[in-house]
């Protein structure tokens, strides 16, 4: 029974840890499906996290915080768009620049505004997104097996967690069942076909980037307003890059993306859980090794275990009219 | 009185220093098939792209149905009932036919509804015009002929009254081309207007009502088709008399340069494409391989040039074997004097994003002539490129221009110039004049024959029977991966046509 409970707890933290990955991964999916590489997911999440926590603590409102996170993150996505769509700049360079600007500006503004070494003030409960307890969760907690699953895994998360998982079927539906999705996929494969069909390539790509910005904004808000009670410098800690790896791993498909992110979240949860615990046979594993595990696995998986991942064909190439 | 579907008045368009269209006036009568011919780079595609709103004219006026029209985007053109099938298809390769057809013209924000509506409409169009395609097939799995039908369906689905086709037959087999012409005639009977750009004057004579000739950005003449001749059109295009069939003397064949023995090649799906083929090519002769596209010619070429793995058999170059494992070093083959002009210049022959001079030495960049120590000798490369541009009349004569910005025929000349100027002992050419104008065809044919007369061995693969017949000293006909017959240059078109259709083989089997 103890083992079962431990397992449930690991799964529970798997969910919590995969949420920012999942939101960022879906964010990347919108832009890369539209043919814009976005290495700046990391930076957009970071500014989202900062703007969310800052606004929430100043205005004492979680919702305003979320709104601000989305707004600023979308603004950064538009900078990426301006550089890489309108001015046909290199998408990788623009993305990296966004990451640098995000890392620097959040610390600088944080220090300037709040004087707490780049942190934002700790958020009060009303300024964060609290856990939502589902009806009957407490009553059912003691039912064997199903009780903990319902009470721990399904109930008791913040609204952003549910939003993140609902975004999976929603994204699938948008991509494969709507006109916008058809055009978005087409522009990532062959923008000239979209152009000659009478649709604006630039506007379509900008719209995809808006979707990206909204999702990275929510991901950032989750980090600073749910997982943590405030912004801490560099709190994204490479999640934007892991999300990109998950995206490739998922072959740019929404449902696959969810499983990929859950897998990475699970590894993360496992490494936290096993820190300092001696394992049978191997003995005590150094913390650093466990922390490195998700990244090592990413490399291994990407290097050969997922078969050929074919990215959208026009990915990374600015669109210029020509034959 | 005949009514004008489209009037172009004083159209000008420049790309940097290149004046692609100057003061073009053109009237296209409703319900006719109007041909446009002209040399490579004459500005045909540009003019039509302006009409379709893909490019903007620098000045000039467009009238559609008598009314002045402002066409700023393809959307405006579509709204005015203008549809276009581009020289290079504008399809999303991994979408289905249906998805490609509705892209940009979806009736509804939800796909399921749009697709359901489109499906019945598409079926009606397919029936009405004989344009059968499986609506659920994935584009990249369709042969080019069918991909082109999808392009036509796209235009018709958008309610096109005026259909522009830019070199539609360049990639088609003769049978597919015939089918296309039947479709175009049907469109005309239904009152639609068709604009057809082509380099094949025979097609112009066969199907158009009126024909306009462009030369170096200007419109030089418009003729009623039945009142003109192929010779007159060719002369108008090039500005001088053109030999439609190049004169050549008897071949003086020498020793065997290239010997192919029992060669068998399979494609990526494991289907046998080249089936136990043997033949020799001697110094000083041109051997032509005729056949309907898709009968193994491409695979044969690729195997001989070391790009594709052969299952069995051997190929000897000057008595020494060529590595047929598919891992042959193309550089080594070049050193041994085997030059290859690939069929698909876009994907295999050129890096479109490179400048012309870079492409003109691609593959020969290790040659000491182009090197200064470990570095490329830029000046030598550019001078060399300029020489080739002059010699092969590549236009525009700018070796710094990005290759993608050359017209289709000029891109072909860049590849030909590169390979022929290396003075190879054996030259293998796939579709030497695909998309090339009559003047350039004459020039390329003359060059090939000159190479032969210098004692080179030349292998030409072409789906154009005329070309095979006028170039070859010996003609091999391929059908279903086998060589089904060998003929001399005097063979008639009918005789070769029957062989190409596999008729004799069937008789022999009976
Ligand atoms: N986007 C572009 N940028 C620069 N130059 C261009 C561009 N498009 C076309 N040109 C130039 O304009 C001229 C006309 O080109 P166009 O493609 O209209 O010729 P074309 O008559 O269709 O030739 P072809 O028969 O070889 O297809 C050429 O010299 C070409 O190099
Ligand atoms: Mg053209």
Mutate which of B19, B37, B45, B400 for ligand 1 pocket (most atoms within 8 A of beta carbon): B45
For residue B123, the model assigns a pLDDT of 92
Question: Is residue A307's pLDDT more than 70?
Answer: no
**Ligand 1: which residue has its CA nearest to atom 24?**
B40
pLDDT at B2: 66
In 3D, which of B170, B207, B209, B243 has the Cα closest to residue B433? B170
Average pLDDT over residues A104-122: 91
- Same domain as B11, residue B151: yes
Burial class (CB in 10 A: 0-12, 13-18, 19+), B146: middle
Of A177, A186, A196, the CB nearest to B110: A177
8 Å CB contact between A29 and A252: yes
User: Do residues B293 and B231 share a domain?
Assistant: no
Judged against a pLDDT cut of 70, whether residue A203 lies above it is answered with yes
CATH at B300: 3.40.50.300
- Closest ligand 1 atom to residue B437 Cα is 25
Least Cα distance to A82 among A72, A63, A95, A68 occurs for A95
Which residues does chain A have within 8 Å of residue B347's beta carbon, measured at their own beta carbons?
none
Å from A241 to nearest chain B CA? 28
**Mean pLDDT calculated for residue range B174-200:** 90
Q: Is residue B245 part of a domain?
A: no
> If you average pLDDT over every residue of chain A, what do you get?
90
pLDDT in tens, B114-147: 999 999 999 999 888 888 899 999 998 888 888 9
- Residue B509 in tokens: 């089997």
Mutation to test the B interface, candidates A90, A186, A198, most B Cβ within 10 Å: A198
A interface test, pick of B50, B104, B114, B151 with most A CB neighbours within 10 Å: B104
Together in a domain, B261 and B220: no
Summarised one tens digit per residue, pLDDT across range B46-81 is: 999 999 998 999 999 999 998 999 999 999 999 999
Residues of A with Cβ-Cβ distance to B93 under 8 angstroms = 189-190, 313
- pLDDT score recorded for residue B1: 45
Instruction: Report the complex ipTM.
Output: 0.88
Q: Could you tell me how many CB contacts below 8 A there are between chain A and chain B?
A: 81
Q: Give the closest residue to B38 by CA, choosing from B202, B268, B199, B239.
A: B199
pLDDT of residue A304: 67
In a domain, B247, yes or no: no
Give buried/exposed letters for B19-51 (b at 16+ CB in 10 A, else e).
bbbbebebbbbebbbbbbbbbbbbbbbbbbbbb
Of A177, A185, A195, Cβ closest to residue B74: A195
In a domain, B34, yes or no: yes
- Banded pLDDT at A322 (limits 50, 70, 90): low
| Candidates A182, A193, A198; nearest CB to B73 | A198
* Each residue's pLDDT tens digit, B406-458: 887 888 889 999 999 988 999 999 988 888 888 888 888 999 999 999 999 99
Give the distance (Å) from ligand 1 centre to CA of residue B45: 7
**B103 to A183: CB separation less than 8 angstroms, yes or no:** yes
pLDDT at B345: 76
Ligand 1 atom nearest to B395, measured from its CA: 29
Sequence-distant (≥ 6) Cβ neighbours of residue B121 within 8 angstroms: B157
Does the beta-carbon distance from A197 to B408 stay under 8 Å? no
Looking at chain B, which residue has its C-alpha nearest residue A177? B111
Going by C-alpha positions, the residue among B456, B429, B452 that lies closest to residue B340 is B429
Contacts 24+ apart (CB under 8 A), B46-50: B46/B13, B46/B15, B46/B20, B46/B21, B47/B8, B47/B11, B47/B13, B47/B21, B47/B214, B48/B84, B48/B164, B48/B166, B48/B195, B48/B197, B49/B84, B50/B11, B50/B13, B50/B21
Distance (Å, rounded) from C-alpha B180 to C-alpha A43? 53
A194 against B325, higher pLDDT: A194
pLDDT score of B296 = 87
What is the C-alpha to C-alpha distance for residues A41 and A257, in angstroms, rounded to an integer?
Answer: 15
pLDDT surpasses 90 at A61: yes
Which chain A residue has its CA at the smallest distance from B94's CA? A189
Q: Which pLDDT does position A306 carry in this prediction?
A: 65
Query: B28 has which bridge partners?
Result: B6
- Quick check: A178 and B109 CB within 8 A? yes
> CB-based contact (8 Å) between B351 and chain A?
no
Q: Output the CA A185–ligand 2 centroid distance in Å.
A: 28
Q: Ligand 2 being an ion, which residues bring their Cβ within 5 A of it?
A: B 45, 87
Instruction: Locate B377 and state its tokens.
Output: 């000798």
Whole-number Å distance, alpha carbon B330 to ligand 2 midpoint, is 31
Q: B483 and B439: one domain?
A: yes
pLDDT of residue B143: 80
pLDDT at residue A1, rounded to an integer: 58
> Is B73 part of any domain?
yes
Q: Do A198 and B100 touch (CB under 8 A)?
A: no
Segments forming the whole domain that contains residue B356: 256-509
- Residues B372, B452, single domain; the answer is yes
Same domain, B203 and B65: yes
pLDDT digits (tens, 9 = 90+) for B243-302: 777 788 887 888 899 999 999 998 777 888 899 999 999 999 999 999 887 788 888 998
Structure confidence at residue B505 as a pLDDT band (50, 70, 90): low
The answer to whether the CB atoms of B110 and A179 lie below 8 A apart is yes
Give the rounded percent of residues in chain B with a pLDDT score beyond 70: 98
Query: How high is the pLDDT of residue B161?
Result: 94
Q: What is the pTM of this model?
A: 0.83
- B109:A179 CB<8 A: yes
Query: Which of B180, B208, B238 is the last residue before a domain boundary?
Result: B238
Number of helical H runs and strand E runs in chain A: 13, 4
CA nearest ligand 1 atom 25, residue: B40
Closest CA to B333 of B301, B359, B373: B301
Judging contacts by C-beta atoms under 8 Å, the chain B residues touching residue A197 are 74, 90, 103-105, 154
With an 8 Å Cβ cutoff, are A190 and B92 in contact?
yes
Interchain CB distance below 8 Å, A194 and B104: yes
Residue B85: pLDDT band with limits 50, 70, 90? very high
Could you count the other beta carbons within 10 Å of the beta carbon of residue A141? 13
One domain for residues B226 and B346:
no
- Stretch A306-317: mean pLDDT, rounded? 82
Q: Are residues B270 and B198 in the same domain?
A: no
Per-residue confidence (pLDDT) for residue A84, from 0 to 100:
95
What's the confidence (pLDDT) of residue A6? 84
Which residue would you say has higher pLDDT here, A286 or B33?
B33
Nearest Cα residue to A98 out of A73, A118, A120: A73
Q: Does the structure show a pLDDT above 50 at B103?
A: yes
| Mean pLDDT, residues B198-212 taken together | 92
Nearest-atom index, ligand 1, CA of B49:
18
Domain end call among B238, B267, B288: B238
Write out chain A residues lying below 8 Å of B52, CB-based.
196
Q: What is the DSSP letter of A284?
A: E
Do B408 and A323 count as a contact with CB atoms less than 8 A apart? yes
pLDDT, position A305: 64
B244, part of any domain? no
Are B371 and B505 found together in one domain? yes
B87-96, B342-351, B366-375, B376-385, range with the lowest pLDDT: B342-351
The pLDDT of residue A93 is 95
> What are the pocket residues of ligand 1 if the criterion is a CB atom closer than 6 Å to any ligand atom?
A 322; B 15, 18, 20, 38, 40-46, 87, 395-396, 405-410
Residues of A within 8 A of B88 (CB-CB) are 323
Burial of B329 per CB tally in 10 Å (0-12, 13-18, 19+): exposed
- A185 interaction partners in chain B (CB closer than 8 Å): 92, 95
Nearest CA to ligand 1 atom 22: B45
Q: Which of B110, B111, B404 sits opposite A323 (nearest CB)?
A: B404
Band of the pLDDT at B510, cuts 50, 70, 90? very low
Query: Do B279 and B425 lie in a common domain?
Result: yes
| DSSP E strand stretches across B267-401 | 272-282, 285-290, 312-317, 320-321, 338-341, 371-372, 375-376
| Residue B118: per-residue pLDDT | 92
Residues B283 and B367 in one domain: yes
Residue B179, token pair as written in the block: 């089918």
Last residue of a domain, one of B196, B211, B238: B238
Band of residue A91 on the pLDDT scale cut at 50, 70, 90: very high
Q: Does B100 touch chain A (CB under 8 A)?
A: yes
Q: How confident is the model at residue B192 (pLDDT cuts 50, 70, 90)?
A: very high
Helix axes A287-300, A239-249, angle to 10 degrees: 40
> Across the interface, which of B54, B102, B408 has its CB nearest the CB of A196?
B54
Q: Are residues B164 and B25 in the same domain?
A: yes
Sheet containing strand B67-69, edge to edge, reads: B18-29, B4-15, B59-64, B67-69
- B178 near A CB under 8 A: no
Own/partner contacts of B6-9, CB < 8 Å, gap of 24 or more, are B6/B51, B6/B62, B6/B63, B6/B64, B6/B82, B6/B162, B6/B193, B6/B195, B7/B61, B7/B62, B7/B63, B7/B66, B8/B47, B8/B51, B8/B60, B8/B61, B8/B62, B8/B63, B9/B60, B9/B61, B9/B62, B9/B63
**Ligand 2 centroid vs B23 CA: distance in angstroms?**
18
Cα B410 to averaged position of ligand 2 atoms, centre (Å)? 10
pLDDT averaged over every residue in chain B: 89
- Write the pLDDT tens digit of every residue in B447-487: 999 999 999 999 999 888 888 999 999 999 998 899 999 99
Number of structural domains in chain B:
2
* Confidence band of A152 (pLDDT split at 50, 70, 90): confident
Q: Are B440 and B432 in contact (CB under 8 A)?
A: no
Q: Which residues of B touch A33 (CB under 8 A)?
A: none
Closest CA to B145 of B169, B127, B181, B164: B169
Of B84, B92, B106, which to mutate for an interface test with A (greatest number of A Cβ within 10 Å)?
A: B92
Burial A247-271 (b: 16+ CB within 10 A, else e): bbbbebbbebbbbbbbbbbbbbbbb
Q: Which residue has the higher pLDDT, A22 or B365?
A: A22
Q: Residue A322 and residue B106: Cβ atoms within 8 Å?
A: no
Which residues from A are below 8 Å from B404, CB to CB? Answer: 322-323
Longest dimension (CA), chain A: 68
Q: Whose CA is nearest to atom 9 of ligand 1?
A: B405
């Amino acid at each position: 029974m103890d083992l079962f409970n431990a397992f449930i707890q690991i799964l529970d933290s798997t969910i919590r840890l995969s949420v920012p990955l999942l939101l960022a991964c879906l964010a990347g999916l919108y832009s890369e499906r539209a043919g814009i590489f976005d290495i700046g997911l990391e930076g957009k999440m970071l500014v989202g996290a900062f703007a969310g926590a800052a606004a929430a603590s100043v205005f004492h409102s979680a919702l305003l915080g979320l709104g601000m996170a989305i707004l600023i993150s979308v603004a950064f996505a538009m900078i990426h768009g301006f550089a890489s769509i309108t001015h046909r700049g290199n998408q990788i360079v623009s993305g990296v620049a966004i990451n640098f600007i995000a890392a620097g500006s959040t610390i600088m503004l944080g220090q300037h505004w709040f004087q707490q070494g780049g942190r934002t003030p700790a958020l009060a409960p009303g300024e964060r997104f609290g856990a939502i307890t589902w009806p009957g969760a407490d009553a059912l907690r003691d039912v064997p097996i199903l009780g903990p699953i319902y009470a721990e895994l399904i109930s008791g998360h913040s609204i952003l967690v549910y939003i993140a998982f609902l975004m999976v079927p929603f994204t699938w539906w948008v991509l494969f069942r709507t006109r916008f999705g058809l055009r978005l996929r087409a522009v990532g494969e062959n923008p000239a076909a979209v152009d000659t069909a009478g649709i604006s390539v630039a506007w379509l790509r900008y719209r995809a980037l808006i979707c990206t910005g909204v999702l990275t904004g929510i991901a950032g808000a989750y980090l600073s307003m749910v997982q943590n009670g405030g912004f801490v410098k560099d709190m994204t800690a490479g999640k934007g890059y892991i999300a990109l790896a998950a995206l490739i791993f998922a072959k740019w498909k929404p449902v696959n993306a969810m499983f990929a992110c859950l897998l990475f979240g699970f590894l993360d949860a496992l490494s936290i859980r096993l820190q300092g615990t001696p394992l049978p046979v191997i003995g005590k594993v150094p913390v650093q090794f466990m922390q490195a595990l998700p990244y090592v696995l990413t490399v291994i998986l990407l290097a050969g275990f997922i078969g050929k991942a074919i990215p959208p064909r026009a990915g990374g190439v600015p669109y210029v009219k020509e034959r | 009185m005949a009514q004008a579907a489209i009037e172009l008045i004083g159209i000008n368009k420049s790309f940097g220093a290149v004046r692609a269209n100057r003061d073009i006036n053109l009237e296209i009568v409703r319900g006719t098939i109007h041909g446009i011919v002209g040399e490579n780079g004459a500005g045909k595609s540009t003019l039509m792209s302006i009409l379709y709103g893909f490019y903007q004219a620098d000045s000039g006026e467009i009238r559609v149905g008598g009314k002045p029209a402002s066409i700023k985007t393809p959307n405006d053109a579509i709204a005015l009932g203008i549809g276009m099938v581009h020289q290079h298809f504008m399809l999303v390769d991994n979408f289905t036919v249906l998805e490609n057809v509705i892209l940009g013209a979806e009736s509804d924000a939800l796909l399921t509804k749009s697709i359901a509506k489109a499906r019945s409409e598409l079926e009606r169009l397919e029936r009405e015009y004989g344009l059968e395609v499986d609506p659920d097939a994935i584009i990249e799995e369709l042969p080019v002929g069918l991909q082109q039908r999808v392009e036509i369906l796209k235009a018709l689905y958008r309610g096109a009254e005026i259909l522009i086709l830019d070199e539609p037959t360049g990639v088609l087999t003769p049978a597919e081309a015939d089918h296309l012409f039947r479709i175009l005639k049907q469109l005309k009977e239904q009152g639609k207007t068709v604009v057809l750009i082509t380099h094949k004057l025979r097609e112009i004579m066969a199907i158009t009502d009126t024909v306009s000739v462009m030369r170096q950005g200007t419109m030089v003449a418009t003729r009623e088709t039945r009142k003109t001749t192929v010779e007159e059109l060719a002369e108008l295009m090039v500005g001088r008399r053109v030999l439609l069939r190049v004169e050549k003397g008897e071949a003086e064949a020498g020793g065997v340069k290239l010997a192919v023995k029992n060669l068998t090649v399979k494609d990526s799906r494991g289907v046998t494409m080249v089936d136990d083929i043997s033949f020799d090519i001697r110094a000083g002769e041109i051997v032509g391989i005729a056949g309907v596209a898709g009968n193994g010619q491409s695979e044969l070429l690729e195997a001989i040039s070391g790009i594709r793995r052969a299952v069995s058999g051997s190929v000897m170059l000057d008595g020494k074997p060529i590595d047929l494992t598919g891992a042959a070093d193309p550089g080594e083959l070049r050193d041994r004097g085997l030059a290859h002009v690939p069929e698909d210049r876009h994907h295999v022959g050129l890096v479109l994003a490179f400048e012309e001079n870079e492409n003109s030495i691609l593959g020969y960049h290790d040659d000491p002539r182009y090197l200064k120590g470990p570095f490329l000798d830029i000046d030598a490369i550019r001078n060399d490129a300029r020489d080739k541009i002059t010699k092969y009349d590549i236009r525009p004569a700018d070796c710094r221009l990005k290759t993608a910005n050359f017209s289709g025929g000029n891109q072909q000349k860049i590849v030909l110039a590169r390979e022929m100027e290396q003075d190879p002992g054996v030259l293998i050419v796939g579709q030497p004049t695909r998309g090339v104008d009559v003047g350039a065809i004459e020039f390329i044919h003359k060059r090939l024959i000159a190479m032969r007369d210098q004692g080179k061995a030349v292998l030409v693969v072409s789906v154009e029977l005329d070309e095979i017949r006028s170039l070859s000293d010996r003609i091999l006909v391929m059908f279903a991966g086998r060589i089904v017959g060998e003929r001399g240059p005097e063979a008639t078109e009918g005789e070769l046509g029957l062989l190409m259709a596999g008729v004799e083989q069937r008789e022999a089997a009976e």
